[in-house]
């Protein structure tokens, strides 16, 4: 994700009023798959869904149950974890607070009714028991019938003035690792999502007044009685998302074998420029890190409270961008996430720097190598440096000696600025410092190896450090750990 205004934070931070502190593992042959039937009713803002999940036990242990995340329940208003921090509530809910949720109608296991429990903080988890156990390598068919009610909110899931966003909307299997399921609670800091690569086959039904932006490939689309039924296949992706709007104007262009679609609004004049930015950065990242593996990429303007949000094959860009520069920055940051989050997954809950720091650094690397965008790399890094140093000084004054470690769970950052400075900005500064020390060529060599070796898997920080060490020919473990632990004096 890109927090709204971080571009400004980096570049004009010193000019702002000082209100700062107020504030796979599955192998290719054992991928799980989701077959979803979805139907959206615009009058009630309800999405009826049915998903059949083919789930493999890829662990070495017998499983007595499986857990699914129920992310739509974080839109309940009585939840302990607010969907956005206090400072964003007015912009998230322009028409006043509004509630969303998910209800489970029934669950079947191998076509039979089965016991399930809704549990967790704010009912964010669905536990489905395996009466006979699920043994290593064994596969099971799980059917979940559900109803999602959308809130009127400019967020990942919700309806706004122009768009209806469907991100993190369906029950998705929790990652099983180190002997247990990951049942991470929601946090308004960061992107509290962690998932594995799977295959998706989705049938969407919606009013024909809408245009659809989707991750994956549209296989067919037909209209009957004012309804459009579209079938989408999204293969080897770690999540599925889509956006509907009556106000989309679509501009498309090929970049090699990839069709890039930019979804602007009907009255927009600058869609061509935005599409060019998408094409330029896709082309640069292909050449620099390795090829984007999907057939299409959708970059979608939408009602969104932050700057942007990444999903595989689809990124959301807020329609509240103030300037051409800010729009470019967010487009490039979100597209970089196709490499760092989408194809190479990482634990965004405990190591957010791993994808956010790399997405920030990749954005600046693009500007460094694409002079026509008129951004000076050194000026941008210096802006980030000043911004970070100011943050440290302010925090030390308020909190006394405090921790500046980058490698913390998202729940352990007390404020949004602390989170963004320690993961985005400090992550960028760490990769820049590394590049100054080992050179751009060796750093890029390490990132290429990271992309190749961990495509369609979840990589740990150690995996990234290993690849960077191999690529550069230096043992970088101590170097990078001193940044992560907050021991480096900046």
Footprint of Zn ion (CB under 5 A): 1-2, 356, 359
Q: Which is nearer to Zn ion, 100 or 427 (CB)?
A: 427
Q: What angle do CA 134, 138, 139 make, to 5 degrees?
A: 95
Closest approach, Cβ 265 to Zn ion, in A, equals 23
Closest approach, Cβ 459 to Zn ion, in A, equals 16
Burial 225-256 (b: 16+ CB within 10 A, else e): eeebbbebebbbbbbbbbbbbebbeebeeebe
Closest approach, Cβ 339 to Zn ion, in A, equals 12
**Other beta carbons within 10 Å of 95:** 9
Continuous segment of H or E residues that includes residue 53: strand 46-56
In contact, 109 and 139? CB cutoff 8 Å: no
Q: Which is nearer to Zn ion, 336 or 438 (CB)?
A: 336
Closest approach, Cβ 356 to Zn ion, in A, equals 5
Closest approach, Cβ 361 to Zn ion, in A, equals 11
Q: Which is nearer to Zn ion, 26 or 410 (CB)?
A: 410
Q: Which is nearer to Zn ion, 280 or 355 (CB)?
A: 355
Collapse the DSSP code of 342 into the 3-class scheme (helix H, G, I; strand E, B; otherwise coil) and give the result.
coil
Q: What angle do CA 320, 274, 287 make, to 5 degrees?
A: 125
Alpha-carbon span 326 to 377, nearest angstrom:
15
Closest approach, Cβ 4 to Zn ion, in A, equals 12
Closest approach, Cβ 188 to Zn ion, in A, equals 15
For residue 293, give Cα distances in angstroms to 28, 250, 296: 14, 22, 9
The residue to which tokens 């190749």 are assigned = 452
Q: Which is nearer to Zn ion, 51 or 356 (CB)?
A: 356
In contact, 100 and 148? CB cutoff 8 Å: yes
Closest approach, Cβ 190 to Zn ion, in A, equals 9
User: How does DSSP assign 151-173, residue by residue?
Assistant: PS-SSSEEE-SSEEEESS-S-EE
Q: Which is nearer to Zn ion, 109 or 321 (CB)?
A: 321
Provide the angle, in degrees to the nearest 10, between the axes of the packed helices 352-369 and 426-438: 60
Q: Which is nearer to Zn ion, 1 or 140 (CB)?
A: 1
In contact, 331 and 235? CB cutoff 8 Å: no
Closest approach, Cβ 408 to Zn ion, in A, equals 17
Closest approach, Cβ 334 to Zn ion, in A, equals 7
Q: Which is nearer to Zn ion, 107 or 359 (CB)?
A: 359
Q: Which is nearer to Zn ion, 71 or 341 (CB)?
A: 341
Q: Which is nearer to Zn ion, 2 or 238 (CB)?
A: 2
Alpha-carbon span 414 to 255, nearest angstrom:
42
**Per-residue three-class SS string for 168-232:** CCCCEECCEECCEECCCCCCCCCCCCCCCCEEEEEEEEEECCCEEEECCEEEEEEEECCEEEEEE
Radius of gyration of the chain, Cα coordinates, nearest whole angstrom: 22
* DSSP-derived secondary structure letter, 2: B
Closest approach, Cβ 313 to Zn ion, in A, equals 16
Across-strand partners of 65?
A: 129
Q: Which is nearer to Zn ion, 148 or 332 (CB)?
A: 332
In contact, 130 and 144? CB cutoff 8 Å: no
């Amino acid at each position: 994700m890109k927090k709204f205004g971080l571009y400004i934070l980096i570049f004009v931070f010193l000019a702002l009023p000082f209100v700062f502190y107020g504030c796979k593992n599955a192998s290719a042959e054992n991928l799980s798959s989701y077959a979803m039937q979805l139907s959206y009713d615009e009058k009630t803002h309800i999405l009826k869904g049915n998903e059949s999940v083919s789930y493999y036990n890829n662990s070495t242990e017998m499983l007595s149950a499986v857990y699914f995340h129920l992310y739509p329940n974080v839109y309940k208003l009585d939840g302990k974890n607010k969907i956005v921090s206090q400072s964003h509530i007015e912009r998230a809910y322009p028409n006043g607070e509004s509630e969303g949720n998910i209800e489970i109608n029934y669950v079947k296991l191998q076509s039979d009714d089965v016991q399930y429990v809704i549990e967790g903080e704010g009912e964010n988890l669905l536990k489905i028991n395996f009466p006979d156990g699920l043994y290593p390598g064994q596969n099971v068919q799980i059917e979940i019938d559900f109803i999602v009610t959308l809130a009127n909110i400019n967020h990942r899931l919700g309806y706004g003035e122009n768009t209806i966003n469907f991100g993190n909307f369906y029950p998705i299997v929790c990652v099983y690792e180190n002997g247990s399921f990951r049942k991470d609670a929601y946090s308004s800091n960061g992107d509290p999502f962690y998932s594995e690569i799977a295959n998706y086959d989705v049938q969407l039904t919606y009013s024909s007044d809408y245009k659809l932006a989707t991750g994956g490939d549209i296989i067919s689309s037909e209209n009957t009685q004012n309804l459009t039924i579209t079938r989408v296949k999204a293969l080897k992706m770690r999540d599925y998302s889509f956006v509907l709007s009556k106000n989309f104007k679509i501009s498309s262009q090929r970049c090699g074998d990839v069709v890039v679609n930019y979804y602007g609004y009907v009255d927009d004049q600058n869609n061509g420029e935005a599409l060019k930015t998408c094409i330029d950065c896709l082309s640069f990242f292909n050449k620099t890190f390795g090829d984007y593996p999907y057939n299409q990429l959708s970059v979608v303007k939408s009602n969104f409270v932050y700057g942007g949000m990444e999903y595989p094959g689809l990124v959301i860009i807020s329609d509240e961008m103030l300037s051409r520069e800010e729009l470019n920055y967010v487009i490039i940051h979100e597209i970089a996430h196709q490499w760092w989050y989408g194809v190479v997954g990482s634990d965004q809950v405990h190591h957010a720097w791993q994808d956010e720091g790399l997405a920030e650094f990749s954005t600046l690397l693009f500007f460094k190598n694409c002079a026509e965008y008129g951004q000076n790399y050194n000026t941008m890094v210096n802006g980030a440096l000043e911004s970070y140093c100011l943050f440290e000084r302010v925090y030390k004054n308020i909190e006394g000696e405090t921790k500046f470690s980058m490698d913390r769970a998202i729940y352990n950052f007390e404020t949004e600025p602390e989170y963004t400075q320690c993961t985005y900005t400090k992550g960028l500064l760490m990769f820049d410092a590394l590049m100054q020390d080992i050179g751009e060529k060796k750093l890029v060599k390490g990132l290429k190896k990271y992309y190749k070796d961990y495509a369609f898997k979840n990589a740990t920080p150690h995996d990234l450090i290993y690849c960077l060490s191999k690529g550069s020919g230096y043992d970088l473990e101590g170097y990078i750990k001193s940044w992560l632990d907050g021991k480096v004096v900046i």
